[in-house]
A and B are shown apart, each in its own frame.
Chain A
Amino acid sequence: MSKHWPVLTLGAVLLVGLVLPIATGASPPGFYVEVLLGGLMAGVLYSLVALGFALIFKASGVFNFAQGSMVLFAALAVARLGEQMPLWVAMLLAMVIMVALAWLIERLVLRPLVNQEGVALLMATLGVTYFLDGFGQTLWGSGIYKIDLGIAKEPVMILDQVFQGGILVNKEDFVAALVAAGLVASLVLFFQKTSTGRALRAVADDHQAAQSIGIPLNYIWVIVWSVAGFVALVAGVIWGSQLGVQFSLSQVALKALPVVILGGFTSIAGAIVGGLIIGVGEKMAEVFLGPVMVKVFDLAGGGIENWFAYVLALLFLLVRPEGLFGEKNIDRV
């Protein structure tokens, strides 16, 4: 029990923060639930990007800074191809492109850098980030594009009997959350139940041991980067349909970084739970804590959601360095 006190403390603090607005009557219950749902849905989308990070880190020990650019690249591909053909064909084609990209990255970047330390690999993915940002916009154009999923964007009123004024829910958000949940579930199945998934986990555990029992490392890396590309594609389509496909989409990944460190780099469950915590925490902080801070410190506007997630993750790492579900790091000399 005493081992878990950091996690319990975090949970307690978050819970207090969560119930404070409604307990003090600062917000009407309907609005409160609306914010909560909005946070959860944003959280699901963060989880989606964070999953991409976690997958690659687990299997190859590479911290893939380029995940955000991959999201942008995939979204641009879908948006521009979608102008000429049905959306599902465009998505299939984009998937093929992402696999090709994964193969190229493995071939040109990762293979020559085998056995380099983590920093060098991180730098390499930063280089890939710059390349992809430039390449994507050269290839597909740098305007703002739309992806139309054909789902009505009008908010729907639900539960108007329970709460006064009801709750406004965006139908598209809802579908996005469902798709993300489905994707997460299928990824977990893929990792746990298929032989390729087992090979991936073996590589994640120990490169050398996996290689010595005949798992082809290079092939596995291509698979991992393709899966990450697929996750990026889904995230790109969902984010893109909501925000429009534009350069700022690649910044979404920066929001997912605190999710990964909060959840633990190597953990898929961590990416999901961390995403939900950060999504809800961020929205709650912005909506309820923000105005208070603006009043107290005389700020020029809120915007605390830009750093709230990072500070939350940082504080948590101070008490539990390996994150929520990460593997405990034991030093051996």
Chain B
Amino acid sequence: MFYRENGQFKSNYASDQQMLPILQDRVFMGLLLVFAFGAVPLFVSDYVFLSLLIPFLILTLAAIGLNILVGYCGQISIGHAAFMSVGAYAAYNLALRLPQLNFLVVLVLAGLIAAAVGILFGIPSLRIKGLYLAVATLAAQFFTDWLFARVKWFTNYSSSGSVSTAPIELFGWKVDSPAEKYLFLLGVLVVFTVVAKNLVRGHIGRAWMSMRDMDVAAEVIGIRPVYAKLTAFAVSSFYVGVAGALWGFVYLGAWEPLAFNLSLSLNLLFMIIIGGMGSLLGSYFGAAFIVALPILLDQVPNWLGVEMSTALASHLASMIFGSLIVFFLIVEPHGLARLWAIGKEKLRLWPFPH
């Protein structure tokens, strides 16, 4: 009754092409942003910031990056944490060797370096598809794992191979407390989401989607596969690289060589599967789910008052995690974003059945 587009007439192109065409959506989004920027820092504890919100924001960014490649362009990658590590180490070395650079510049440069590496590892996608490509992307994972663990230059010859970073500073603003980190990350994420939204609904996003839906037909109607696939790899790695740099600088602060290992890659993949492939909103849902689930599973034995060893608890958590993934795939293969869409559709008709 309240959520509908009746009476909202579009009289010029600008209003026809806006990102949120329905007034209620715009109001909701505005309120959400005010809530996220204004209200959340006031009443949320440091623990929630550090263990929930900060990883959620960074992983959402990474999930958006992966979703661009897998969900929109249809090229599966199981090795995307590799590009996170490229971004993180690139940012580390840039900040170390060029200390006068602003962190935002470092972030963008790290993303660009990750994008270049992404294009390099994306070249095989021009020849191989599907599951072959999925396995081939593991090459990126293992190669970067090895590269950053073994080549001492990248870790500035530190003896243990782990690196640590200074708190970031922007135009005199020292991003130090959890709430400040949260605000900074939220700002970055909003900008990147708006850019991604406009990329995927624009000309290039359509090229990606046509590649995903049927590459031969896309080629026939004049979309260059080289261009479409490599831009998808580049944009995706850029996003993931920026996320990696943030993960290292803002969330971890100091990290070991294997901080960006295969299980992080798989988690990214789970996020977009559970959240919904080919949906930016799905990246948010998926990241929230994957970040919150382990914390929730940790708490369950406490609530039930059952004593168990940490090893047993982690094994049980892994079992539940695995079953939930299978369950989700069976019940809602299009992810949480699909449930959201169904809910919106229902709300549009409410209170009438049709």
Residues of chain A whose beta carbon lies under 8 Å from any beta carbon of chain B: 63, 108-109, 112-113, 116, 118-120, 122-124, 126-135, 137-138, 142, 254, 257-258, 260-261, 265, 297-304, 306-307, 310-311, 313-314, 317-318, 321-323, 329, 331, 333
The answer, among B76, B136, B319, for a CB contact under 8 Å with A130, is B319
The answer, among B76, B136, B153, B324, for a CB contact under 8 Å with A313, is B136
Q: Mark B319-350, 1 if CB is under 8 A from A, else 0.
A: 11111111001100100000000000000000
Complex CA distance for A184 and B173, rounded to whole angstroms: 65
A18 to chain B, nearest CB (A): 22
**Contact between A134 and B318, CB atoms less than 8 A apart:** yes
**Contact between B151 and A331, CB atoms less than 8 A apart:** no
A297 to chain B, nearest CB (A): 6
**Contact between B127 and A130, CB atoms less than 8 A apart:** no
**Contact between B326 and A254, CB atoms less than 8 A apart:** no
**Contact between A130 and B142, CB atoms less than 8 A apart:** no
8 Å CB interface, B202-247 against A: 214-217, 220
- Which residues of chain B are within 8 angstroms of A120 by Cβ–Cβ distance? 273, 329, 333
**Contact between A119 and B317, CB atoms less than 8 A apart:** no
Contact A265-B132, Cβ < 8 Å, known A126-B270, A133-B318, A138-B316? yes
A261 to chain B, nearest CB (A): 5
Contact A135-B217, Cβ < 8 Å, known A127-B325, A303-B150, A313-B136? no
A184 to chain B, nearest CB (A): 22
Contact A130-B321, Cβ < 8 Å, known A261-B136, A313-B136, A318-B127? yes
**Contact between A299 and B152, CB atoms less than 8 A apart:** yes
- Which residues of chain B are within 8 angstroms of A301 by Cβ–Cβ distance? 150
**Contact between B315 and A314, CB atoms less than 8 A apart:** no
- Which residues of chain A are within 8 angstroms of B152 by Cβ–Cβ distance? 298-300
- Which residues of chain B are within 8 angstroms of A304 by Cβ–Cβ distance? 146
**Contact between A307 and B143, CB atoms less than 8 A apart:** yes
- Which residues of chain A are within 8 angstroms of B324 by Cβ–Cβ distance? 127
Contact A257-B319, Cβ < 8 Å, known A118-B131, A297-B151, A318-B124? no
- Which residues of chain A are within 8 angstroms of B269 by Cβ–Cβ distance? 123, 126
CB closest chain-B residue, reference A257: B135
A60 to chain B, nearest CB (A): 13
Contact A118-B130, Cβ < 8 Å, known A132-B322, A314-B124? yes
**Contact between A63 and B131, CB atoms less than 8 A apart:** yes
Complex CA distance for A109 and B323, rounded to whole angstroms: 10
CB closest chain-A residue, reference B161: A300
CB closest chain-A residue, reference B324: A127
- Which residues of chain A are within 8 angstroms of B132 by Cβ–Cβ distance? 261, 265, 317, 321-323
The reply to whether the CB of B138 lies closer than 8 angstroms to some CB of chain A is yes
CB closest chain-B residue, reference A119: B76
8 Å CB interface, B191-210 against A: none
Complex CA distance for A270 and B317, rounded to whole angstroms: 37
CB closest chain-A residue, reference B263: A130
- Which residues of chain B are within 8 angstroms of A299 by Cβ–Cβ distance? 150-152
- Which residues of chain B are within 8 angstroms of A300 by Cβ–Cβ distance? 149-152, 161
**Contact between B139 and A134, CB atoms less than 8 A apart:** no
Inter-chain pairs besides A123-B269, A314-B139, 16 sampled, C-beta below 8 Å? A113-B330, A116-B333, A120-B333, A123-B273, A131-B321, A133-B315, A134-B319, A138-B316, A257-B135, A257-B138, A298-B153, A299-B152, A300-B161, A310-B142, A317-B127, A322-B132
Contact A310-B138, Cβ < 8 Å, known A116-B333, A126-B266, A317-B132? yes
- Which residues of chain B are within 8 angstroms of A118 by Cβ–Cβ distance? 130-131
**Contact between A331 and B150, CB atoms less than 8 A apart:** no
Sample (8) of A-B pairs whose CB atoms are under 8 Å apart: A63-B134, A112-B330, A113-B329, A119-B70, A131-B319, A131-B323, A307-B143, A310-B143
B144 to chain A, nearest CB (A): 9
- Which residues of chain B are within 8 angstroms of A127 by Cβ–Cβ distance? 321-326, 329
The reply to whether the CB of B306 lies closer than 8 angstroms to some CB of chain A is no
A26 to chain B, nearest CB (A): 22
**Contact between A123 and B330, CB atoms less than 8 A apart:** no
- Which residues of chain B are within 8 angstroms of A132 by Cβ–Cβ distance? 322
A267 to chain B, nearest CB (A): 13
Q: Mark B254-274, 1 if CB is under 8 A from A, else 0.
A: 000000001000100110010
- Which residues of chain B are within 8 angstroms of A258 by Cβ–Cβ distance? 135, 138-139
Complex CA distance for A258 and B270, rounded to whole angstroms: 22
The reply to whether the CB of B128 lies closer than 8 angstroms to some CB of chain A is yes
**Contact between A321 and B127, CB atoms less than 8 A apart:** yes
Complex CA distance for A321 and B76, rounded to whole angstroms: 16
Complex CA distance for A113 and B331, rounded to whole angstroms: 9
